[in-house]
Amino acid sequence: MIRACIFDLDGVIVDTAHYHFLAWQRLAQELGVPFSEEDNERLKGVSRMRSLEIILELGNLTLDMATKEELATKKNGWFVDYVNAIRPEEIFPGVKELIHQIKSRGLKVGLASSSKNAQRVIDLLQIESLFDAVVDGTMITHSKPHPEIFLLAAERLGLKPIECVVFEDAEAGVEAALAAGMRCVGVGSPEQLGNAHHIIPRTGQYTLEKLTQLEHLKP
């Protein structure tokens, strides 16, 4: 029995994934590392430091920890500058309506984002009240694809993992949800998210009928 939906933030509720890409691209350019949108798929859902390490790997660069910290902080400054301009209307179309429908069916709703900036984004979008539990990058030790964030979200919702469905746009996020023993709806392309139980192009296109069908699929 499905009793909750847990939403990722960046790329599922709002297009902050694009701002992450712009900030990483700017840093990659400074480092002289070619960095495409396709490369960026590997950064989605993983931690800030792991993202930087992937860029350094792409450029065959090795840097000491202090320099890496400095670069990660620089990228975050640019990201925060982009994000501070976010307005409540930027929530993806249909997402609020979907969450209200889920709630009207008596299900709980959680948010699980690897981002340490998640609370800022939630405040700017004014969506805190939509969620029964919020878990972000400041509360976990292991980032996606580790299942920790989703297991913690289920715990905060007072539910078992098998009772939760995750909405994710990142390959690492789909992996994390499946490792947590949850069903997963991938938001994006089947090439990247092929392991998810259902795949939809945009979050707002999901329906309660599909959620019912999910109950018949094994986690």
Binding site for ligand B16 (CB under 6 A): 8-11, 17, 20, 43-48, 51, 76, 113-117, 137, 170
Cα 60 to chain centroid, rounded: 27
Give catalytic status of residue 10 as yes or no.
yes
Q: Do residues 8 and 68 make contact, with C-beta atoms less than 8 angstroms apart?
A: no
Residue 113 contact among ligand B16, Mg ion, none, beta carbon within 5 to 8 Å by kind: ligand B16
Smallest separation (angstroms) from ligand B16 to the CB of 52:
9
Asked if 147 interacts with Mg ion (CB under 5 A), we say: no
Helices and strands per DSSP (H, E), number in the chain? 10, 6
CB-closest chain residue to ligand B16: 113
Select from 10, 41, 136, 163 the one that contacts Mg ion (CB under 5 A): 10
CB neighbours of residue 158 within 10 Å: 12
Residue showing tokens 């925060």 = 80
In terms of DSSP H, where are the helices of 33-117? 37-40, 48-58, 65-83, 95-104
* Burial zone of 201 (CB within 10 Å; 0-12 exposed, 13-18 middle, 19+ buried): exposed
CB of 121 to ligand B16, least distance (A): 8
Among 11, 147, 186, 188, binds Mg ion (CB under 5 A): 11
Q: In this complex, which beta carbon is closest to Mg ion, that of residue 160 or of residue 195?
A: 195
**Min CB(14)–Mg ion separation in Å:** 10
Residues β-bridged to residue 108: 4
Catalytic machinery residues: 8, 10
Can you give the binding site for Mg ion, defined by CB under 5 A? 8, 10-11, 169-170
